Amino acid sequence: MQVLVFTAGFALLVSCIQFSYRLHIGALGKSGLLIGASDVGLLAGAVVLVILALRQEAAIKRLVPGWAVLTVIGAAIVCFVAGPSAAGVKELIQTIEILWVGYVLFSIAVRDGKGEELLSALFLAAALATAAVAIYQRLVKGTSFFEAGGLLENRNYLSAYLLLAVPWAAGKYLAPQAKARLAESIAAGLLVAASFFLAANIVVSFALFIGAAIAMAGHDVKGLAGSLTQKLSLGALAIVWIAATATSQGTWDGLAIYRQDVGGTMKPSARARRWQADMCAVSENPVFGLGLGKYQTEIGVYYRGAAIKPDGKTNDAAGFDLRADEPGTQGIWEVIPVEGGLVLTAAWMIMLTAGAVSAFRNERPGVTGALVAVLIAGTVVSVWMRGIGVALAFLLALAAEKPKSGQPPQ
Protein backbone atom coordinates (compact mmCIF):
# COMPACT_ATOMS: atom_id res chain seq x y z
CA MET A 1 0.00 0.00 0.00
CA GLN A 2 3.00 2.33 0.24
CA VAL A 3 2.74 3.18 -3.45
CA LEU A 4 -0.80 4.47 -2.81
CA VAL A 5 0.42 6.63 0.08
CA PHE A 6 3.17 8.18 -2.03
CA THR A 7 0.78 8.68 -4.95
CA ALA A 8 -1.65 10.49 -2.65
CA GLY A 9 1.22 12.55 -1.29
CA PHE A 10 2.28 13.62 -4.77
CA ALA A 11 -1.27 14.67 -5.67
CA LEU A 12 -1.60 16.70 -2.47
CA LEU A 13 1.82 18.33 -2.83
CA VAL A 14 1.11 19.63 -6.34
CA SER A 15 -2.50 20.66 -5.65
CA CYS A 16 -1.30 24.26 -5.28
CA ILE A 17 0.56 24.28 -8.62
CA GLN A 18 -1.68 25.69 -11.31
CA PHE A 19 -0.66 24.51 -14.73
CA SER A 20 -2.19 21.99 -17.11
CA TYR A 21 -1.28 19.85 -20.08
CA ARG A 22 -3.71 19.82 -22.98
CA LEU A 23 -4.54 16.58 -24.74
CA HIS A 24 -6.20 17.31 -28.07
CA ILE A 25 -9.12 14.95 -28.60
CA GLY A 26 -11.30 15.74 -31.60
CA ALA A 27 -14.60 14.89 -29.91
CA LEU A 28 -13.96 17.56 -27.30
CA GLY A 29 -13.44 20.42 -29.74
CA LYS A 30 -10.63 22.94 -29.88
CA SER A 31 -9.95 23.04 -26.15
CA GLY A 32 -9.26 19.34 -25.79
CA LEU A 33 -8.98 17.69 -22.39
CA LEU A 34 -6.93 19.40 -19.69
CA ILE A 35 -4.84 17.24 -17.37
CA GLY A 36 -3.41 19.04 -14.37
CA ALA A 37 -0.48 17.99 -12.18
CA SER A 38 -2.72 16.64 -9.42
CA ASP A 39 -4.79 14.77 -12.04
CA VAL A 40 -1.70 12.82 -13.01
CA GLY A 41 -1.27 11.62 -9.42
CA LEU A 42 -4.92 10.69 -9.02
CA LEU A 43 -5.10 8.91 -12.37
CA ALA A 44 -2.02 6.87 -11.47
CA GLY A 45 -3.62 6.03 -8.15
CA ALA A 46 -6.84 4.97 -9.91
CA VAL A 47 -4.91 2.45 -11.98
CA VAL A 48 -3.28 0.95 -8.89
CA LEU A 49 -6.62 0.87 -7.04
CA VAL A 50 -8.29 -1.00 -9.92
CA ILE A 51 -5.48 -3.56 -9.98
CA LEU A 52 -5.71 -4.09 -6.21
CA ALA A 53 -9.50 -4.39 -6.37
CA LEU A 54 -9.32 -6.95 -9.18
CA ARG A 55 -6.80 -8.96 -7.17
CA GLN A 56 -9.11 -8.62 -4.16
CA GLU A 57 -6.35 -7.03 -2.12
CA ALA A 58 -8.39 -3.92 -1.29
CA ALA A 59 -12.10 -3.57 -0.48
CA ILE A 60 -12.37 -0.25 -2.30
CA LYS A 61 -16.16 0.03 -2.22
CA ARG A 62 -16.15 0.00 1.59
CA LEU A 63 -14.05 3.18 1.61
CA VAL A 64 -16.41 5.30 -0.53
CA PRO A 65 -18.83 7.17 1.77
CA GLY A 66 -22.52 7.68 1.08
CA TRP A 67 -22.20 11.43 0.54
CA ALA A 68 -19.59 10.84 -2.19
CA VAL A 69 -21.92 8.43 -4.00
CA LEU A 70 -24.79 10.92 -3.63
CA THR A 71 -22.72 13.82 -4.99
CA VAL A 72 -21.50 11.86 -8.02
CA ILE A 73 -25.03 10.63 -8.77
CA GLY A 74 -26.31 14.22 -8.51
CA ALA A 75 -23.56 15.45 -10.85
CA ALA A 76 -24.35 12.66 -13.35
CA ILE A 77 -28.07 13.47 -13.31
CA VAL A 78 -27.39 17.15 -13.88
CA CYS A 79 -24.86 16.41 -16.61
CA PHE A 80 -27.15 14.22 -18.70
CA VAL A 81 -30.66 15.47 -17.84
CA ALA A 82 -29.88 19.15 -18.37
CA GLY A 83 -27.91 18.39 -21.53
CA PRO A 84 -24.43 16.82 -21.76
CA SER A 85 -21.43 18.76 -23.03
CA ALA A 86 -17.68 18.21 -23.29
CA ALA A 87 -17.11 20.57 -20.36
CA GLY A 88 -19.83 18.79 -18.35
CA VAL A 89 -18.34 15.34 -18.93
CA LYS A 90 -14.96 16.75 -17.87
CA GLU A 91 -16.52 18.09 -14.65
CA LEU A 92 -18.21 14.74 -13.98
CA ILE A 93 -14.92 12.88 -14.46
CA GLN A 94 -13.22 15.36 -12.13
CA THR A 95 -15.92 14.78 -9.50
CA ILE A 96 -15.38 11.02 -9.65
CA GLU A 97 -11.61 11.49 -9.66
CA ILE A 98 -11.62 13.64 -6.54
CA LEU A 99 -14.49 12.27 -4.45
CA TRP A 100 -13.90 8.61 -5.20
CA VAL A 101 -10.29 8.07 -6.28
CA GLY A 102 -8.76 10.91 -4.24
CA TYR A 103 -10.86 10.16 -1.18
CA VAL A 104 -9.98 6.45 -1.23
CA LEU A 105 -6.26 7.17 -1.66
CA PHE A 106 -6.28 9.60 1.25
CA SER A 107 -8.37 7.26 3.40
CA ILE A 108 -5.80 4.51 2.93
CA ALA A 109 -3.00 6.91 3.84
CA VAL A 110 -4.84 8.31 6.88
CA ARG A 111 -5.44 4.82 8.25
CA ASP A 112 -1.67 4.39 8.20
CA GLY A 113 -0.36 6.68 10.96
CA LYS A 114 2.92 7.35 9.14
CA GLY A 115 1.03 7.98 5.92
CA GLU A 116 -1.07 10.70 7.55
CA GLU A 117 2.01 12.40 8.94
CA LEU A 118 3.69 12.34 5.53
CA LEU A 119 0.65 13.87 3.84
CA SER A 120 0.30 16.46 6.60
CA ALA A 121 3.91 17.56 6.18
CA LEU A 122 3.49 17.85 2.41
CA PHE A 123 0.24 19.82 2.72
CA LEU A 124 1.76 22.27 5.20
CA ALA A 125 4.84 22.72 3.01
CA ALA A 126 2.77 23.27 -0.13
CA ALA A 127 0.48 25.83 1.53
CA LEU A 128 3.37 27.72 3.12
CA ALA A 129 5.30 27.77 -0.16
CA THR A 130 2.47 29.25 -2.21
CA ALA A 131 1.65 31.79 0.54
CA ALA A 132 5.33 32.82 0.71
CA VAL A 133 5.47 33.32 -3.06
CA ALA A 134 2.30 35.45 -2.88
CA ILE A 135 3.80 37.59 -0.09
CA TYR A 136 6.92 38.06 -2.22
CA GLN A 137 4.77 39.07 -5.17
CA ARG A 138 2.84 41.61 -3.10
CA LEU A 139 5.61 43.16 -1.02
CA VAL A 140 8.74 42.81 -3.17
CA LYS A 141 7.69 42.61 -6.82
CA GLY A 142 4.74 44.97 -6.44
CA THR A 143 2.38 42.57 -8.21
CA SER A 144 -1.22 43.78 -8.32
CA PHE A 145 -3.52 42.68 -5.52
CA PHE A 146 -5.58 40.49 -7.84
CA GLU A 147 -2.64 38.76 -9.55
CA ALA A 148 -0.68 37.88 -6.39
CA GLY A 149 -1.70 34.24 -6.22
CA GLY A 150 1.55 32.53 -5.27
CA LEU A 151 1.83 29.27 -7.22
CA LEU A 152 -1.82 29.65 -8.21
CA GLU A 153 -3.19 31.95 -10.89
CA ASN A 154 -4.63 34.79 -8.80
CA ARG A 155 -5.87 35.80 -5.35
CA ASN A 156 -9.22 34.00 -5.73
CA TYR A 157 -7.58 30.62 -6.35
CA LEU A 158 -5.07 31.27 -3.56
CA SER A 159 -7.83 32.22 -1.10
CA ALA A 160 -9.76 29.05 -1.92
CA TYR A 161 -6.65 26.97 -1.23
CA LEU A 162 -5.94 28.79 2.04
CA LEU A 163 -9.54 28.25 3.22
CA LEU A 164 -8.77 24.53 3.28
CA ALA A 165 -5.20 24.66 4.55
CA VAL A 166 -5.21 27.36 7.24
CA PRO A 167 -7.86 26.12 9.75
CA TRP A 168 -6.51 22.58 9.36
CA ALA A 169 -2.95 23.78 10.06
CA ALA A 170 -4.12 25.84 13.05
CA GLY A 171 -5.82 22.80 14.56
CA LYS A 172 -2.96 20.38 13.95
CA TYR A 173 0.03 22.58 14.78
CA LEU A 174 -1.10 25.67 16.75
CA ALA A 175 -3.98 24.65 19.04
CA PRO A 176 -3.09 24.33 22.74
CA GLN A 177 -3.87 20.60 22.63
CA ALA A 178 -1.55 20.03 19.64
CA LYS A 179 1.84 18.46 20.29
CA ALA A 180 3.68 19.83 17.28
CA ARG A 181 7.39 20.38 16.88
CA LEU A 182 8.61 23.98 17.11
CA ALA A 183 9.40 24.22 13.38
CA GLU A 184 5.91 22.97 12.50
CA SER A 185 4.27 25.49 14.84
CA ILE A 186 6.33 28.35 13.40
CA ALA A 187 5.46 27.31 9.84
CA ALA A 188 1.76 27.08 10.69
CA GLY A 189 1.84 30.45 12.48
CA LEU A 190 3.42 32.14 9.47
CA LEU A 191 0.84 30.50 7.20
CA VAL A 192 -2.07 31.77 9.31
CA ALA A 193 -0.74 35.34 9.47
CA ALA A 194 0.03 35.40 5.75
CA SER A 195 -3.43 34.10 4.89
CA PHE A 196 -5.16 36.96 6.70
CA PHE A 197 -3.02 39.44 4.76
CA LEU A 198 -3.57 37.70 1.40
CA ALA A 199 -7.33 37.04 1.66
CA ALA A 200 -9.21 38.06 -1.48
CA ASN A 201 -11.86 40.01 0.43
CA ILE A 202 -13.37 40.49 3.86
CA VAL A 203 -15.71 37.48 3.54
CA VAL A 204 -12.75 35.16 2.91
CA SER A 205 -10.76 36.85 5.68
CA PHE A 206 -13.64 36.44 8.15
CA ALA A 207 -14.15 32.80 7.12
CA LEU A 208 -10.44 32.11 7.66
CA PHE A 209 -10.63 33.66 11.12
CA ILE A 210 -13.76 31.70 12.11
CA GLY A 211 -12.23 28.45 10.80
CA ALA A 212 -8.97 29.02 12.65
CA ALA A 213 -10.85 29.99 15.85
CA ILE A 214 -12.84 26.74 15.73
CA ALA A 215 -9.57 24.86 15.28
CA MET A 216 -7.88 26.66 18.17
CA ALA A 217 -10.88 26.20 20.49
CA GLY A 218 -10.54 22.44 20.09
CA HIS A 219 -12.92 19.52 20.27
CA ASP A 220 -14.44 20.58 23.59
CA VAL A 221 -17.57 22.64 22.86
CA LYS A 222 -16.67 24.73 25.93
CA GLY A 223 -13.28 25.49 24.42
CA LEU A 224 -13.91 29.21 23.97
CA ALA A 225 -14.24 29.48 27.75
CA GLY A 226 -11.55 26.92 28.46
CA SER A 227 -8.07 27.20 29.93
CA LEU A 228 -6.02 30.38 30.15
CA THR A 229 -3.74 29.06 27.41
CA GLN A 230 -6.73 28.60 25.13
CA LYS A 231 -8.01 32.11 25.83
CA LEU A 232 -4.58 33.61 25.16
CA SER A 233 -4.28 31.64 21.91
CA LEU A 234 -7.65 32.88 20.67
CA GLY A 235 -6.78 36.42 21.73
CA ALA A 236 -3.50 36.28 19.81
CA LEU A 237 -5.34 34.93 16.77
CA ALA A 238 -7.81 37.85 16.91
CA ILE A 239 -5.00 40.42 17.19
CA VAL A 240 -3.14 38.95 14.21
CA TRP A 241 -6.37 38.86 12.17
CA ILE A 242 -7.22 42.49 12.94
CA ALA A 243 -3.69 43.72 12.18
CA ALA A 244 -3.28 41.74 8.94
CA THR A 245 -6.75 42.55 7.63
CA ALA A 246 -6.41 46.25 8.44
CA THR A 247 -3.09 46.59 6.60
CA SER A 248 -4.02 44.54 3.50
CA GLN A 249 -5.00 46.67 0.50
CA GLY A 250 -8.05 45.59 -1.45
CA THR A 251 -9.58 43.39 1.25
CA TRP A 252 -12.68 45.55 1.57
CA ASP A 253 -12.89 46.68 -2.03
CA GLY A 254 -13.56 43.18 -3.39
CA LEU A 255 -17.22 43.20 -2.36
CA ALA A 256 -18.18 46.64 -3.67
CA ILE A 257 -21.70 46.57 -5.12
CA TYR A 258 -21.25 49.83 -7.05
CA ARG A 259 -18.13 51.14 -8.77
CA GLN A 260 -17.32 54.43 -10.44
CA ASP A 261 -16.62 54.18 -14.17
CA VAL A 262 -14.19 56.33 -16.16
CA GLY A 263 -16.90 58.95 -16.64
CA GLY A 264 -17.48 59.29 -12.91
CA THR A 265 -20.86 57.51 -12.97
CA MET A 266 -21.61 54.96 -10.28
CA LYS A 267 -22.63 51.62 -11.84
CA PRO A 268 -23.15 48.09 -10.46
CA SER A 269 -19.88 46.20 -10.03
CA ALA A 270 -19.10 43.07 -12.01
CA ARG A 271 -19.80 40.94 -8.92
CA ALA A 272 -23.21 42.54 -8.36
CA ARG A 273 -24.15 42.06 -12.01
CA ARG A 274 -23.04 38.42 -11.91
CA TRP A 275 -25.06 37.73 -8.75
CA GLN A 276 -28.13 39.20 -10.44
CA ALA A 277 -27.59 36.96 -13.46
CA ASP A 278 -27.08 33.97 -11.15
CA MET A 279 -30.42 34.59 -9.43
CA CYS A 280 -32.21 34.89 -12.78
CA ALA A 281 -30.67 31.62 -13.98
CA VAL A 282 -31.57 29.71 -10.80
CA SER A 283 -35.13 31.05 -10.71
CA GLU A 284 -35.72 29.83 -14.27
CA ASN A 285 -33.92 26.47 -13.87
CA PRO A 286 -34.41 25.58 -10.19
CA VAL A 287 -34.23 21.76 -10.14
CA PHE A 288 -31.46 20.63 -12.52
CA GLY A 289 -29.88 23.96 -13.44
CA LEU A 290 -28.28 24.82 -16.78
CA GLY A 291 -26.14 21.69 -16.90
CA LEU A 292 -22.75 20.68 -15.56
CA GLY A 293 -19.84 22.73 -16.89
CA LYS A 294 -22.06 25.33 -18.57
CA TYR A 295 -21.73 28.31 -16.22
CA GLN A 296 -19.25 30.34 -18.25
CA THR A 297 -20.91 29.80 -21.61
CA GLU A 298 -24.60 29.96 -20.60
CA ILE A 299 -24.81 32.62 -17.88
CA GLY A 300 -24.48 35.47 -20.38
CA VAL A 301 -28.11 35.32 -21.52
CA TYR A 302 -29.25 36.00 -17.94
CA TYR A 303 -27.61 39.43 -17.79
CA ARG A 304 -30.72 41.55 -18.32
CA GLY A 305 -30.95 45.31 -18.81
CA ALA A 306 -28.77 47.85 -20.60
CA ALA A 307 -26.49 48.38 -17.58
CA ILE A 308 -26.23 44.68 -16.77
CA LYS A 309 -24.08 43.10 -19.44
CA PRO A 310 -21.42 40.37 -19.26
CA ASP A 311 -17.71 41.03 -19.30
CA GLY A 312 -15.09 39.53 -21.57
CA LYS A 313 -15.74 35.97 -22.76
CA THR A 314 -18.64 35.29 -20.41
CA ASN A 315 -21.16 35.19 -23.24
CA ASP A 316 -18.82 34.16 -26.06
CA ALA A 317 -19.32 30.42 -26.51
CA ALA A 318 -17.15 30.36 -29.64
CA GLY A 319 -14.21 31.86 -27.76
CA PHE A 320 -14.64 29.70 -24.67
CA ASP A 321 -11.38 28.07 -23.63
CA LEU A 322 -11.12 25.57 -20.80
CA ARG A 323 -7.62 26.76 -19.93
CA ALA A 324 -8.64 30.39 -19.41
CA ASP A 325 -12.30 30.01 -18.46
CA GLU A 326 -12.63 26.77 -16.55
CA PRO A 327 -16.20 26.28 -15.30
CA GLY A 328 -16.48 26.72 -11.57
CA THR A 329 -13.95 29.52 -11.12
CA GLN A 330 -16.55 31.70 -9.42
CA GLY A 331 -17.91 31.01 -5.92
CA ILE A 332 -19.24 27.50 -5.38
CA TRP A 333 -22.57 28.88 -4.15
CA GLU A 334 -22.83 30.76 -7.45
CA VAL A 335 -21.80 28.02 -9.87
CA ILE A 336 -23.31 24.91 -8.27
CA PRO A 337 -26.90 26.28 -7.99
CA VAL A 338 -26.69 27.67 -11.55
CA GLU A 339 -25.21 24.53 -13.11
CA GLY A 340 -26.86 21.89 -10.92
CA GLY A 341 -29.95 23.50 -9.40
CA LEU A 342 -31.35 22.21 -6.14
CA VAL A 343 -30.17 18.66 -6.88
CA LEU A 344 -26.45 19.37 -6.88
CA THR A 345 -26.65 22.15 -4.28
CA ALA A 346 -28.30 19.75 -1.81
CA ALA A 347 -25.62 17.11 -2.49
CA TRP A 348 -22.84 19.61 -1.83
CA MET A 349 -24.47 20.89 1.34
CA ILE A 350 -24.81 17.32 2.61
CA MET A 351 -21.18 16.55 1.73
CA LEU A 352 -19.69 19.57 3.52
CA THR A 353 -22.02 19.40 6.53
CA ALA A 354 -21.51 15.65 6.97
CA GLY A 355 -17.77 16.15 6.74
CA ALA A 356 -17.79 18.94 9.35
CA VAL A 357 -19.92 16.91 11.77
CA SER A 358 -17.79 13.78 11.33
CA ALA A 359 -14.61 15.79 11.86
CA PHE A 360 -15.94 17.25 15.09
CA ARG A 361 -17.02 13.84 16.38
CA ASN A 362 -13.65 12.38 15.46
CA GLU A 363 -11.76 15.08 17.36
CA ARG A 364 -10.44 16.96 14.34
CA PRO A 365 -11.60 20.54 14.98
CA GLY A 366 -9.14 21.91 12.42
CA VAL A 367 -10.91 19.98 9.68
CA THR A 368 -14.27 21.14 11.05
CA GLY A 369 -13.01 24.73 10.92
CA ALA A 370 -11.86 24.35 7.31
CA LEU A 371 -15.20 22.95 6.12
CA VAL A 372 -17.13 25.66 8.00
CA ALA A 373 -14.89 28.27 6.35
CA VAL A 374 -15.74 26.82 2.95
CA LEU A 375 -19.46 26.99 3.72
CA ILE A 376 -19.10 30.67 4.71
CA ALA A 377 -16.88 31.86 1.85
CA GLY A 378 -18.37 29.69 -0.89
CA THR A 379 -20.28 32.67 -2.27
CA VAL A 380 -17.08 34.39 -3.37
CA VAL A 381 -14.51 31.62 -4.04
CA SER A 382 -14.52 27.97 -5.14
CA VAL A 383 -12.54 25.07 -3.67
CA TRP A 384 -13.29 22.87 -6.65
CA MET A 385 -11.11 24.08 -9.53
CA ARG A 386 -7.58 23.61 -10.85
CA GLY A 387 -6.57 20.80 -8.51
CA ILE A 388 -7.64 22.52 -5.29
CA GLY A 389 -10.40 19.93 -4.84
CA VAL A 390 -7.66 17.39 -4.07
CA ALA A 391 -7.00 19.18 -0.77
CA LEU A 392 -10.74 19.06 -0.02
CA ALA A 393 -10.70 15.27 -0.54
CA PHE A 394 -7.80 15.00 1.92
CA LEU A 395 -9.72 16.90 4.60
CA LEU A 396 -12.86 14.82 4.04
CA ALA A 397 -10.78 11.66 4.46
CA LEU A 398 -9.33 13.03 7.70
CA ALA A 399 -12.84 13.85 8.91
CA ALA A 400 -13.88 10.21 8.78
CA GLU A 401 -11.05 8.91 11.00
CA LYS A 402 -10.04 9.60 14.59
CA PRO A 403 -6.37 10.49 15.15
CA LYS A 404 -4.27 7.40 15.74
CA SER A 405 -3.42 6.31 19.25
CA GLY A 406 -0.81 8.65 20.67
CA GLN A 407 -1.76 11.54 18.39
CA PRO A 408 -3.47 14.58 20.00
CA PRO A 409 -6.89 15.83 18.79
CA GLN A 410 -6.45 17.99 15.69
Binning pLDDT at 50, 70 and 90, where does residue 321 land?
Answer: very low
pLDDT in tens, 152-176: 888 888 999 999 999 999 999 998 8
Mean of all residue pLDDT scores within the chain = 83
Looking at residue 28, its pLDDT comes to: 47
Quick check: 347 pLDDT over 80? yes
Looking at residue 64, its pLDDT comes to: 83
Determine the average pLDDT of the residues in 45-74. Answer: 80
CA distance 59 to 72: 20
Torsion angles phi and psi, residue 280, rounded to 5? -65, -45
Count CB atoms within 10 A of the CB of residue 325. Answer: 18
Which stretches within 20-154 are classed as H helix?
37-54, 66-81, 86-96, 103-111, 113-136
CA distance 258 to 263: 14
CA distance 215 to 368: 7
Quick check: 21 pLDDT over 70? no
Looking at residue 319, its pLDDT comes to: 45
133-158 core/surface letters (b: 16 or more CB in 10 A; e: else): bbbebbeeeebebeebbbbbbbbbbb
pLDDT in tens, 373-406: 999 999 889 888 767 899 999 999 999 988 876 5
Handedness of CA 84, 89, 90, 93 (dihedral sign): positive
Looking at residue 106, its pLDDT comes to: 93
CA distance 207 to 199: 10
Binning pLDDT at 50, 70 and 90, where does residue 58 land?
Answer: low
pLDDT in tens, 218-274: 766 555 556 777 788 889 999 999 999 988 877 877 677 777 766 777 777 778 888
Determine the average pLDDT of the residues in 37-59. Answer: 77
Question: Three-class SS of residue 259?
Answer: strand
More confident residue, 1 or 166: 166
Domain ranges of the chain: 2-253+341-399
Q: What's the pTM?
A: 0.89
- The two most distant CA atoms of the chain are separated, in Å, by 69
Looking at residue 320, its pLDDT comes to: 42
Closest by CA to 170, choosing from 142, 130, 128, is 128
Which stretches within 98-227 are classed as H helix?
103-111, 113-136, 155-169, 182-198, 202-217
Closest by CA to 332, choosing from 77, 68, 91, is 91
CA distance 382 to 238: 25
Lowest mean pLDDT among 110-114, 195-199, 223-227: 223-227
